Amino acid sequence: MPPVAESALDVKGDFPIFARRFDGRPLVYLDSGSTSQKPKVVIDALAGHLRNHNANVHRGVYALAQEADAAYDSARSRVAAFTGAQPETTIFTKNVTEAINLVAYAWGRANVGPGDAVLITQMEHHANIVPWQVLCRERGAELRYLEVDERGELSLEQLDVELARGDVRLVAVTHVSNVLGTIVPVAEIAARARAAGAVSLVDGAQAVPHMAVDVEAIGADFYAWTGHKALGPMGIGVLHGRREILERMEPFLTGGDMISSVDFQSATWNELPYKFEAGTPPVAEAVGLGAAVEYLGRLGMDRVRAHERALTGYMLERLEDVPGLRVAGAPEAEARGGLASFTIEGMHPHDIAELADRGGVCIRAGHHCAQPLMSCLGVSATARASIGVYNEPGDVDALVDTLLAGREVFGL
């Protein structure tokens, strides 16, 4: 029997896309780890801003421009409040990739040099690997990895050993693995990094949409997340930073909006957060994200987590009904975010996903932008089903039905 917990949410009706049909079938969307679907309130906020309040920000004196300013500032305040941060240290970026590159360029180039090390983990998304590879190569520093065990967990002992070497300038970790679902003890890691004199960065892309996140409580120096996985639009990401560090940093991108004054040969920088927001920002997208976090806040992030945890438990249980299926990472829902990466003996993940689509079920297949982790798991690819707030037990049942049907197509 599907779990009907007290915490179960029933919000599919808030998301217009679920009215669509594919070959007469309803949409079964289990790819929220890639991007979330959008509730009507977000679509309306985005369109409403463009329809009624569109003007450029930070420079107009007319009433319409002031409305746009107010909308952008209010979006930032809501987004900051949602994650327990301050608006002045909440920087809008394009996505997590840009947020991490901001840190790698603006902080990294000034603070990481020959003989230094950057410490990351084997389960990072490419967005939290490649910027550090480039930085380390450029600065003559070493990139080292914390290992991931077969439960998908890190060893804090290995962290201590690495930190004790005394050369680690930065520790960058994911909050929730996009492949294994592991919930990483980021507050503990940030505290140990700080005690060892290292700066910490957390990639919260898979965490913020799915559980209550308080960046003050976590205490990392940088915390990055993205809007489009959190029911908001694509093109808007967030970087929370520690004020003292942000103030000392030089800008990342330079140009309009991020300056205080410009003469022929030099310029001075605007105050936080604008110093890090060069050029016209994605105002409507920020407004959309503001509406998204307001929506999530109304649902209550503890209820969102409880709903998704129950559903993840149900998914892990139902996947056992598929012969030859193996889930990567921890076997219990408690230890993981709302996703399961899996392989099926005799079927390539691409074929699994293609055959799932025959049943109207959207799942991801591939390396999930985590090729180093894939090599640790000894596979080149996995299939991944990931849950959003709108999913229901019936979606999991539909997934399992398509997997069983897919095995039959393959004569398994």
> What are the residue numbers of the active site?
369
Q: Between residues 257 and 351, which has the closer beta carbon with respect to another protein? A: 351
**At its nearest, how many Å lie between another protein and the CB of residue 366?**
5
Shortest distance, position 411 Cβ to another protein, whole Å: 7
Q: Which of 354, 393, 401, 404 binds another protein (CB under 8 A)?
A: 354
Q: Of 220-259, which residues contact another protein (CB under 8 A)?
A: none
Q: What letter represents residue 324's amino acid? A: G
* DSSP-assigned letters across all residues of 355-395: HHHHTTEE-EEE-TT-HHHHHHHT-S-EEEEE--TT--HHH
Q: How far is the CB of 385 from another protein (least distance, A)?
A: 17
Q: Of residues 356-385, which lie at the interface with another protein (CB under 8 A)?
A: 358, 365-367, 371, 374, 380-381
Smaller CB separation from another protein, 22 or 269 = 22
Nearest CB to another protein, comparing residues 333 and 355: 355
Residue ranges in 8-142 assigned as alpha helix (H): 40-52, 63-82, 96-102, 109-111, 130-139
CB of 42 to another protein, least distance (A): 27
Angle CA 332–191–170, to nearest 5: 100
* 411 is a contact residue toward another protein (CB under 8 A): yes
Q: What is the total count of residues that contact another protein (CB under 8 A)? A: 18
What's the rounded Cα separation, in Å, for the pair 341 and 376?
Answer: 14
The binder of another protein chosen from 168, 355, 376, 377 (CB under 8 A): 355
- From residue 314 to residue 353, the character string flagging contacts with another protein as x (rule: CB under 8 A) and all else as - is ---------------------------------xxxxx--
Coil, strand, or helix at residue 411?
coil
**Smallest separation (angstroms) from another protein to the CB of 397:** 22
Note the Cα 159 to chain centre separation in Å: 23
Q: Which is nearer to another protein, 26 or 366 (CB)?
A: 366
Q: Output the six-digit token pair for 35.
A: 């991007």
Give the 3-state secondary structure of residue 52.
helix
The pairing of beta strand 25-26 with beta strand 21-22 = antiparallel
Residue placing its CB nearer to another protein in the complex, 137 or 350:
350
Q: What angle do CA 126, 130, 133 make, to 5 degrees?
A: 145
Q: How far is the CB of 410 from another protein (least distance, A)?
A: 6
Long-range CB contact pairs, 307-310, < 8 A, 24+: 307/5, 307/7, 307/8, 307/9, 307/389, 308/210, 308/337, 308/338, 308/387, 308/388, 308/389, 308/391, 309/333, 309/334, 309/338, 310/3, 310/5, 310/7, 310/8
- List C-alpha distances in Å: 66 to 42, 44, 58, 290, 306: 22, 20, 8, 18, 40
Smallest separation (angstroms) from another protein to the CB of 324: 14
- Cβ proximity to another protein: between 8 and 404 the closer is 404
Residue among 152, 133, 151, 129 at smallest CA distance from 142? 133
Q: Answer yes or no whether residue 73 interacts with another protein by CB under 8 A.
A: no
**Closer CB to another protein, 154 or 365, in the complex:** 365
Q: How many CA within 13 A on the CB side of residue 394?
A: 7
Determine if 119 is a binding residue for another protein (CB under 8 A): no
Q: Does residue 279 touch another protein according to CB under 8 A?
A: no
For 307: left if phi > 0, alpha if psi spans -120 to 50, otherwise beta; the answer is alpha
Asked if 25 interacts with another protein (CB under 8 A), we say: no
Binding site for another protein (CB under 8 A): 347-351, 354-355, 358, 365-367, 371, 374, 380-381, 409-411
